[in-house]
Structure 1
């Protein structure tokens, strides 16, 4: 199974009537491995900030986390493993693996 198929068939699937608005799998350097059609364009500085927050939990808390044009308030996650952000009723969850970042963005609580 390709990474694109994983995004399309697993990350973007419906679960109990809910689904992500967009998702992606990125390398630690920001290289896109796979993404949904609606995943926002981001800049390298955003990925650098996210990776720094994994290494230094709390780094993004004062300024918020940016992904594309959206700003998320960083909320409780799992230091070094998961970053969560909130924007209105929606939000973002980023899981760090050994080689990649798995990103899910949602418009309403899941």
Structure 2
């Protein structure tokens, strides 16, 4: 099992549900880890200057949670039946762990 599968694309709380896609991206744009179906994004699609550590977005039945650490951004994308709270939990838990490691 790969690192991304074990920590981001994992079974959420024993429910059998998973995020739709996930990635860990360095502040320099380098891909540290990503699921095979993580969408490609352009530089113009990245928010610049957000003061908080977490960005959340929702569109239709899905959404995204992004957690910023000292060196990376952790992305989680979900669709129903996964809830925003479940996505937040998975992404923020890993982001907090990376932050504790100085990453």
2:35 is the counterpart of 1:36? yes
Displacement, 1:33? 1.2
Give TM-score, length-normalised by structure 1: 0.66
The structure in which a higher percent of residues are strand is 1
Where do 5+ consecutive residues of structure 1 fail to align? 56-79
- Please give the root-mean-square deviation of Cα atoms over the aligned residues, in Å: 1.7
The structure in which a higher percent of residues are helix is 2
- SS of 1:9's partner is helix
- After superposition, the C-alpha distances for 1:33-85 in whole angstroms (9 at most, x for unaligned) are 110011001112223x2xx2424xxxxxxxxxxxxxxxxxxxxxxxx100000
Structure 1: which 4+ aligned runs deviate by more than 3 Å? none
Aligned residues: 80
Where do 5+ consecutive residues of structure 2 fail to align? 87-103
Displacement, 1:30? 2.0
Is the 1:30–1:44 contact (alpha carbons within 8 Å) kept by the matching residues of 2?
Answer: no
Displacement, 1:102? 0.3
2:42 is the counterpart of 1:82? no
Indicate how the Cα distance of structure 1 residues 53 and 86 shifts in structure 2: closer, same or farther if over 3 A, else same. Answer: farther
Indicate how the Cα distance of structure 1 residues 53 and 107 shifts in structure 2: closer, same or farther if over 3 A, else same. Answer: farther
